[in-house]
Amino acid sequence: MPSRRHCLQALGAAGALGLALALPGCGRERPRSRPVPAGAVVLALGDSLTWGTGAPPDASYPAVLARLTGWQVVNAGVPGDTSAQGLARLPALLAEHRPALVIVSIGGNDFLRRLPDTETRTNVRAICEQALKSGAQVLLAAVPRATVAAAMGQMTDHTLYAEIADQLHIPLQREGWGEVLADADLRSDAVHANARGYEEFARSLMGTAVAVGLLAR
């Protein structure tokens, strides 16, 4: 099945993004969202992949996304954080920044530490629900599951992200990290991107934001 990135590339002009939502192999129709204007505060909650481990600070995906979109993207990534730790940090971050959009990309450390999937699912869902309750929109970014195949470069999103996105009717960034971390040229080590990888992810995330209506183009 073709990846979302390849599907979007096949469309050509950005004006065909509406068609992308209906193309076979590009996933189900995504929820429509309200546009987030330039200058709005966007909170990027996550772990080392959000922080930008393996690249200079100005090459982290939140920094690149800010340049691409004009959003004020707050990098709330903490290396080593689990979903439970991200959930614990979230209330203070929401109160401080009052974001219009929260990008949630967390769970990789749960998988690496073999924490129960039920706990990770509960925590990620609670993060999304708290963000929604604050008045922010949410964009959930799927993280690959930790498997033997993943160690060999065959990355597959953990199913819990699609389940949560469907349950809460929020947009999902599919395969973004998987496509980056499966490519040795885009990694700084086995589990982190390099500067090129973070830029690739930010551009992929921007494509999803445009497709679901979070970003006008």
**Which residues does residue 105 pair with via DSSP β-bridges, in sequence order?**
46
Q: Which domains does the chain have, with CATH numbers?
A: 4-10+40-212 (3.40.50.1110)
Tokens in use for 14? 């950005």
Question: In the 3-class helix/strand/coil scheme, how is 65-104 assigned residue by residue?
Answer: HHHHHCCEEEEEECCCCCHHHHHHHHHHHHHHHCCCEEEE
Active site residue 134: no
Tokens in use for 33? 């969202």
Active site residue 169: no
26 pLDDT exceeds 60? no
- Active-site residue identified among 60, 105, 192, 204: 192
Active site residue 81: no
pLDDT tens, position by position, 64-93: 999 999 999 999 999 999 999 999 999 999
* Residue bearing tokens 């699609």: 162
Residue 60 Cα to chain centre, angstroms: 13
Q: Residue 138's pLDDT is what?
A: 98
User: Residue 190: pLDDT band by 50, 70, 90 thresholds?
Assistant: confident
9 pLDDT exceeds 90? no
Q: Residue 153's pLDDT is what?
A: 55
pLDDT tens, position by position, 38-47: 999 999 999 9
- Active-site residue identified among 33, 48, 60, 83: 48
- Active-site residue identified among 6, 58, 166, 189: 189
* Residue bearing tokens 């963000």: 131
